[in-house]
Structure 1
Amino acid sequence: MQNIEKITDLETYSVRHAVLRKGKSIETCQFEGDDLPSTHHFGYFVNNELVGIISIFKNNNSIFAANNQYQIRGMAVLESHQKKGIGELLVKYCEAYCKKLQSDLIWFNARTAAVGFYEKLGYTKVGAAFEIKDVGEHYLMAKSISNE
């Protein structure tokens, strides 16, 4: 049974707020580009309850030479459902989706605490850690998906 479905940007807010913007206003859950036609949002459901989310944005980072890049943003799984493989399924789903869009590369800014999770999925750190205001320390991470 497929638990991953396409959702709207507004549907991501409940999980984004609980996991990524805890204690902040709900407005902080809206990301620039959320409503663009080239942005895609996916949700992981358990018994019809949204417990995990991921969004991909058509966004080229000039650090990388690849022409057709997507950025993952807002990947989050509710605390009660973490460590069950849901995050991995969401990332792999987006990789397959990006391949259908003929993407060459996926990149994102990963929270320091999540770096190990992404490294297990084949993503590589690029450069040194940096601070995102009001969010914390991050690493730029990327993975080429064109030749897999």
Structure 2
Amino acid sequence: MIIKEIYVEDTWEIRHKVMWPEKDLNYVKLKDDHKGKHYGVFEENKMVSVISLFFSEDGAQFRKFATLKEEQGKGYGGQLLKFVMEKTKKDGINHIWCNARYDKIDFYKKFGMVETNESFQKGGIDYIIMRKYLK
């Protein structure tokens, strides 16, 4: 398994297949995608998981975190999330957060993330903001 920085365009196919397959490909593209850092997990030269990281003055947000369905449960996503958290901490960022789908709360809790009281709905899916302080 290799984790490396990738081009944003390389994230779109996995984002689309995993998160919003019923929508047009443009639905998974973010207007600020070009401002983020994007990482992929490769297993035997095949990209199996992606995540995008966006920085602000007070922290970093990861978005569009997706692992191919047939590769889920093999630890790729967990390794990618650990990588991003460690890199963010090394870069001096004090906290990391995400908009978590409710059915993924337990996954994020395994990595020390906690639920906030902020939630919203997008595309018929409920989300909650989860956060982890890194210092």
**TM-score, normalised relative to structure 1:** 0.86
Task: Report how many aligned residue pairs link the two structures.
Answer: 135
Query: How far apart, in 2, do the equivalents of 1:135 and 1:73 lie?
Result: 18
- Residues 9-88 of structure 1 mapped to structure 2, 5 A cutoff: 9-36=8-35, 39-59=36-56, 67-88=57-78
Task: Determine the structure 2 residue equivalent to 1:139.
Answer: 128
Preserved CA contact (<8 Å) 1:68 1:102? no
CA RMSD of superposed structures (Å): 1.3
The CA deviation string for residues 79-137 of structure 1, in whole angstroms up to 9 with x for no partner, is: 010011111101100011111221000011000111110011110000154212x1511
Task: Determine the structure 2 residue equivalent to 1:8.
Answer: 7
Which letter maps to 2:90?
A: K
Percent identical pairs in the alignment equals 30
**TM-score, normalised relative to structure 2:** 0.94
The CA deviation string for residues 57-97 of structure 1, in whole angstroms up to 9 with x for no partner, is: 013xxxxxxx5300010111000100111111011000111
Q: Which ranges in structure 2 are unaligned for 5 or more consecutive residues?
A: none
The ranges of structure 1 where at least 4 consecutive aligned residues each deviate by more than 4 angstroms after the TM superposition are none
Preserved CA contact (<8 Å) 1:110 1:138? yes
> What secondary structure sits across from 1:83 in the alignment?
coil
> What secondary structure sits across from 1:127 in the alignment?
strand
Q: Which ranges in structure 1 are unaligned for 5 or more consecutive residues?
A: 60-66
- Distance apart, 1:21 and its partner CA: 1.3
- Larger proportion of strand: 2
